[in-house]
């Protein structure tokens, strides 16, 4: 069987909740096969990112070449890109391999405040990577930085989407989870393709264990695109998957736990394995 493949390019999260670990769970939950290129290794637990080991840009590029030259990918998603060197290496390879279905999650800050993209890398992101994207998925703080404006309402999200869209991506999806004024029961995300807005609304679920939400969302979106859905449909499916991952979040460690895109699906797998007959033989 030939699987539908999604290549996730980003950082490893040793706590298992965000980064590449979240990406692969989300892609798997969507029925696709996940490939991974690591850009950084974080020493991370439920209290946040404690340390970061950067992977050399040349080795990031090498991983991409080796995977795409042999296996290929139906869509690519990028997450943590720490330095300008890494952003440029990734953008160069996306161009070289003619990747059309590219989701860029412009990861900037971890929850505890640790920088996952150095300020000096932001210009390269805007100039070199965002123009190659089919969809860019900022949260509110990221959209504020990219658009250079405060966002306190859905109307402001729409204004920021117009500004960000000018950087050259085909669509921008601003996620409303961080909206300050949004004390009501809804989380509204706004998709803008240069012409039309689409709003996606879900019930707000207030919980402490929400680490990994953004990675899960963008990876599920990439999986939807890989499966041949259009952007608006894939965004709707991704919103559903991330909401289910939030509902099924796990209480880990003594800090913030994580969302889990595969929660509940593992029991299902275990049940189907239970139907297999295992033959065991004694050996001398
Ligand atoms: O949620 C953004 C993110 C992406 N990638 C890695 C992370 C985080 C947040 O902590 O650790 C590796």
In angstroms, the Cα distances linking 164 to 129, 135, 171, 199, 213 are 13, 11, 9, 17, 21
User: In the prediction, which pLDDT does 113 show?
Assistant: 87
- Give, for ligand 1, the residue of 20, 39, 215, 257 to mutate: max count of ligand atoms closer than 8 Å to Cβ: 215
Q: What is the pLDDT of residues 96-152, one digit of tens each?
A: 999 999 999 999 999 888 999 999 999 999 999 999 999 999 999 999 999 999 999
Q: What is the pLDDT of residues 227-236, one digit of tens each?
A: 999 999 999 9
User: In the prediction, which pLDDT does 111 show?
Assistant: 83
Q: Whose CA is nearest to atom 9 of ligand 1?
A: 110
User: In the prediction, which pLDDT does 101 show?
Assistant: 98
Domains and CATH numbers, the chain: 5-272 (3.40.1190.20)
Residue 16 Cβ < 6 Å to ligand 1: no
Residue 108 Cβ < 6 Å to ligand 1: no
Residue with tokens 């699987």: 3
Residue 80 Cβ < 6 Å to ligand 1: yes
* Distance from C-alpha of 170 to C-alpha of 15, rounded to nearest angstrom: 33
Length of the chain: 284
Structure tokens of 61? 């590029």
User: In the prediction, which pLDDT does 277 show?
Assistant: 77
Helix axes 231-247, 213-226, angle to 10 degrees: 140
Contact 55, 25 (CB under 8 A): no
Which atom of ligand 1 lies nearest, measured to the CA of 40?
12
pTM for the full predicted model: 0.95
> Which residue ranges of the chain lie beneath pLDDT 70?
180-184, 266-270, 272-273, 275
In angstroms, the Cα distances linking 220 to 33, 159, 243 are 12, 25, 11
Residue 45 Cβ < 6 Å to ligand 1: no
Rg (CA), the chain: 19
User: In the prediction, which pLDDT does 221 show?
Assistant: 98
Q: Rounded to the nearest 5 degrees, what angle is found at the Cα of 235, between the Cα atoms of 133 and 155?
A: 85
Residue 36 Cβ < 6 Å to ligand 1: no
CA of 50 to the centre of ligand 1 (A): 12
User: In the prediction, which pLDDT does 268 show?
Assistant: 65
């Amino acid at each position: 069987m030939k699987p539908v493949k999604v290549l996730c390019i980003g950082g490893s999260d040793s706590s298992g909740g965000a980064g590449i670990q979240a990406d692969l769970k989300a892609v798997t939950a969507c029925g696709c096969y996940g490939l991974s290129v690591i850009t950084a290794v974080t020493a991370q637990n439920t209290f946040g990112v404690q340390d970061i080991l950067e992977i050399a840009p040349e080795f990031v590029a090498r991983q991409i070449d080796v995977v795409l030259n042999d296996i290929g990918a139906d869509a690519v998603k990028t997450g943590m890109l720490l330095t300008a060197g890494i952003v440029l290496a990734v953008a160069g390879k996306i161009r070289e391999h003619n990747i059309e279905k590219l989701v860029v999650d412009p990861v900037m800050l971890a929850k505890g405040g640790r920088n996952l993209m150095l300020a000096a890398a932001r210009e390269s992101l805007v100039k070199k990577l965002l123009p190659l994207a089919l969809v860019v998925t900022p949260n509110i703080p990221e959209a504020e930085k990219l658009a250079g404006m405060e966002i306190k309402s859905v109307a402001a999200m729409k204004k920021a989407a117009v500004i960000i869209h000018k950087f050259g991506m085909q669509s921008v999806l601003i996620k409303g989870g961080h909206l300050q004024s949004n004390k009501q029961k809804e989380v509204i995300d706004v998709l803008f393709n240069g012409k039309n807005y689409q709003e996606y609304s879900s019930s707000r679920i207030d919980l402490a264990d929400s680490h990994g939400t953004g990675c899960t969302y963008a990876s599920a979106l990439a999986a939807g695109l890989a499966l041949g859905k259009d952007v608006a449909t894939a965004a709707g499916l991704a919103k559903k998957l991330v909401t289910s991952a939030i509902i099924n979040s796990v209480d880990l460690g003594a800090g913030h736990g994580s969302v889990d895109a595969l929660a509940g699906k593992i029991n299902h797998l275990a049940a189907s394995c239970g139907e297999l007959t295992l033959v065991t033989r004694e050996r001398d």
